[in-house]
């Protein structure tokens, strides 16, 4: 983890960026709302909104890459669930998106087409809200923050499983591998689920991704080798 953090810091520094760790999800909501694009959901993913979730520092954080103008140009959020026994029920009841049980769940509609693997239980973490400013896209930053967040979840919370979601469009383009580093055969749900959030016109087709502790550790080691070659290549240019 330390070696991975160090090589990432070097990559970010070479790009004029620094990593910030925050628990201010109202700030994140405002940032993503500001940068929302036409054709995309008008509101940030509610899974990490403090309006509906207990985004306390003991179970959540988000990464932001900050440029020399002190502007956040890339993000990734994470949160933890304890004592999960029925992941499918969590999704069907929308508690993955809205985990504060003291507040009513919005009247979103969800259709779950798949049966989630029964072994996905215990202490789980999930990441989302991967966003990059247009000026910094196609540089692998979302992948960097996604894998770093996964490693951070394992380090902080000793999770039994880490989860992610991605769209059917990303799956068809192979981004579950290229952007997020998941095994497309063993760690990707191919059926998915459909969700329509209140106030949104589009129904989104999502797929679940998962990874265990050993896989997270192995991936981080692989990323160190990849990033070392990438940083050295840039330095030689």
Lowest mean pLDDT among 35-44, 73-82, 162-171, 182-191: 35-44
83-95 per-position pLDDT tens digit: 999 999 999 999 9
Helix ranges (DSSP H) in the chain: 2-14, 25-34, 87-92, 141-157, 168-172, 175-178, 213-236
> Is pLDDT above 90 for 38?
no
Tell whether the model's pLDDT for residue 233 goes beyond 70: no
Check residue 15 and report its DSSP letter. Answer: T
CA dist., res. 119 & res. 103, Å (int): 29
CATH of the domain at 15: 3.40.630.30
Q: How far apart are CA 122 and CA 169, in angstroms?
A: 30
The chain-wide mean pLDDT, for the chain, equals 90
Residue-range definition of the domain harbouring residue 141 = 2-236
Q: Averaging pLDDT over each range in 67-76, 109-118, 178-187, which range is the top one?
A: 67-76
Which pTM value belongs to this model? 0.91
Q: Is the dihedral of CA 47, 156, 178, 23 positive or negative?
A: positive
- Residue 237's pLDDT is 44
Looking at the structure of the chain, the number of domains it has is 1
DSSP state letter for 203: P
Distance of CA 172 to the CA centre of its chain: 19
């Amino acid at each position: 983890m330390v070696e991975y953090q160090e090589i990432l810091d070097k990559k970010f520094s070479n790009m004029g960026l620094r990593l910030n760790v925050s628990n201010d999800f109202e700030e994140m909501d405002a940032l993503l709302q500001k940068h929302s694009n036409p054709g995309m959901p008008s509101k940030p993913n509610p899974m990490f909104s403090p309006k509906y979730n207990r985004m306390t520092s003991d179970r959540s954080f988000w990464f932001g890459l900050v440029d020399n103008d002190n502007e956040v140009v890339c993000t990734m959020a994470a949160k933890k669930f304890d004592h999960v026994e029925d992941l499918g029920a969590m999704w069907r009841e929308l508690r993955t998106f809205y985990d504060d049980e003291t507040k009513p769940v919005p009247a979103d509609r969800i259709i779950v087409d798949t049966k989630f693997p029964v072994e996905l239980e215990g202490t789980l973490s999930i990441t989302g809200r991967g966003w990059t400013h247009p000026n910094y896209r196609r540089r692998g930053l979302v992948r960097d923050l996604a894998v770093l967040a996964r490693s951070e979840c394992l380090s902080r919370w000793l999770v039994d499983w880490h989860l992610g979601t991605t769209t059917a469009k990303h799956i068809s383009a192979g981004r579950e591998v290229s952007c997020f580093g998941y095994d497309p055969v063993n760690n990707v749900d191919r059926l998915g689920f459909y969700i329509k959030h209140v106030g949104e016109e589009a129904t989104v087709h999502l797929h679940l991704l998962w990874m265990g502790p050993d896989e997270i550790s192995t991936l981080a080691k692989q990323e160190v080798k990849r990033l070392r070659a990438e940083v050295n290549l840039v330095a030689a240019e």
